[in-house]
């Protein structure tokens, strides 16, 4: 197995455990991390002894979203393309991907947790799209297709607020909430159950369930060209431009604080 700069990858009892390993940035989604994630997913799919991927994060976050503090901030086109391709890699993977969330799963990190086939979370976890308060639409729409009701998606998108794991479970975006100590045991127990179903059947089931999701509009609303158009339109708003101006002049922390607390027109 290849070494990674931004991930820790190991295989245990039929599961390829992929840990986002940039705790100093709250596992922010840099282009380097996303490239490695796609490579790790492809390697897991090719491994005969792997029945599922477990995706988790090191430290106090699953992922805080895109890495706006990177030394070389990627262009918006690169961000959009990266988000679309790594979410698509999880969605199209022939084996199940389980998100084991402990801590923050926000913005792009929330999308990452929700696109997985199953999502388990600890009691301290939080989910949401605070980037809505920055004035920019998400480059890919995942939330509306995994909530128990479209009203839940509207609530999170319209407010940009965080919800705790218990509320996320009520909304249908988390399978189960457990303690920090129980998280990995719970996920590995789920993998053990999956190993009792033939792998060929699991692949057929995933393909079929994806087809159901696509009939609901997932593919058309997540297509790269549609997402790029919507994202580009929102990125030109006065609010989005003000966020980036504050980030340039006062730093990313000041811009995020403004994003979270200021009322916008």
Looking at the DSSP bridge assignments, the partners of residue 52 are 15
Convert the pLDDT of each residue in 101-131 to its tens digit.
999 999 999 999 999 999 999 999 999 999 8
- What pLDDT score was predicted for residue 46? 95
pLDDT for 68 equals 60
Using the predicted structure, report yes or no on whether residue 134 has a pLDDT greater than 90: no
Highest mean pLDDT among 48-57, 137-146, 208-217, 231-240: 48-57
Residue 211 gets which letter from DSSP?
A: H
Question: Checking phi first, is residue 160 left (phi over 0); if not, alpha (psi -120 to 50) or beta?
Answer: left
Write down the CATH number for the domain with range 7-179+202-222. 3.90.226.10
Binning pLDDT at 50, 70 and 90, where does residue 235 land?
low
* 209-239: b (≥16 Cβ within 10 Å) or e: eeeeeeeeebbeebeeeebbebbeebbebeb
CA pair distance 171, 66, nearest whole angstrom: 24
State what percent of residues in the chain have pLDDT above 70: 85
Cβ atoms < 10 Å from Cβ of 8: 14
| The two three-digit tokens of residue 86, written as one number | 């790594």
Between 232 and 30, where is the model more confident? Answer: 30
| pTM recorded for the entire structure | 0.86
Q: Mean pLDDT score of the chain, rounded to an integer?
A: 86
Give the residue carrying structure tokens 């916008």.
Answer: 264
For residue 232, the model assigns a pLDDT of: 55
Please choose, from the candidates 38, 45, 36, the residue with its C-alpha nearest in 3D space to the C-alpha of residue 16.
45
User: What is the C-alpha to C-alpha distance for residues 226 and 37, in angstroms, rounded to an integer?
Assistant: 24
Query: What's the chain's length in residues?
Result: 265
pLDDT at 206 over 80: yes
With cut-offs at 50, 70 and 90, classify the pLDDT of residue 241.
confident
- C-alpha span between 214 and 26 (Å, rounded): 32
């Amino acid at each position: 197995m290849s070494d990674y700069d931004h991930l820790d990858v190991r295989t245990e009892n039929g599961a390829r455990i992929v840990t986002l390993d940039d705790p100093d940035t709250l596992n922010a989604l840099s282009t380097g991390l996303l490239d490695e994630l796609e490579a790790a997913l492809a390697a897991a799919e090719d491994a005969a002894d792997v029945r599922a991927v477990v995706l988790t994060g090191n430290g106090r976050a699953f992922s805080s979203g895109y890495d706006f503090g990177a030394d070389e901030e990627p262009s918006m086109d690169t961000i959009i393309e990266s988000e679309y391709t790594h979410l698509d890699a999880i969605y199209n993977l022939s084996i199940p991907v389980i998100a084991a969330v402990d801590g923050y799963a926000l913005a792009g990190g929330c999308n990452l947790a929700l696109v997985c086939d199953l999502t388990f979370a600890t009691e301290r976890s939080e989910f949401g799209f605070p980037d809505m308060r920055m004035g920019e639409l998400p480059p890919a729409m995942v939330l509306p297709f995994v909530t128990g009701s479209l009203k839940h998606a509207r609530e999170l998108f319209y407010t940009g607020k965080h919800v705790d794991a218990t509320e996320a479970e009520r909304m249908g975006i988390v399978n189960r909430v457990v303690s920090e100590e129980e998280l990995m045991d719970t996920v590995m127990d789920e993998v053990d159950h999956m190993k009792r179903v033939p792998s060929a059947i699991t692949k057929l089931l995933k393909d079929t369930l994806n087809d159901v999701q696509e009939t609901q509009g997932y593919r058309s609303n997540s297509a790269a060209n549609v997402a790029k158009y919507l994202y580009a339109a929102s990125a030109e708003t006065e609010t989005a431009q003000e966020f980036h101006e504050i980030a340039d002049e006062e730093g990313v922390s000041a811009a995020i604080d403004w994003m979270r607390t200021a009322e916008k027109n």
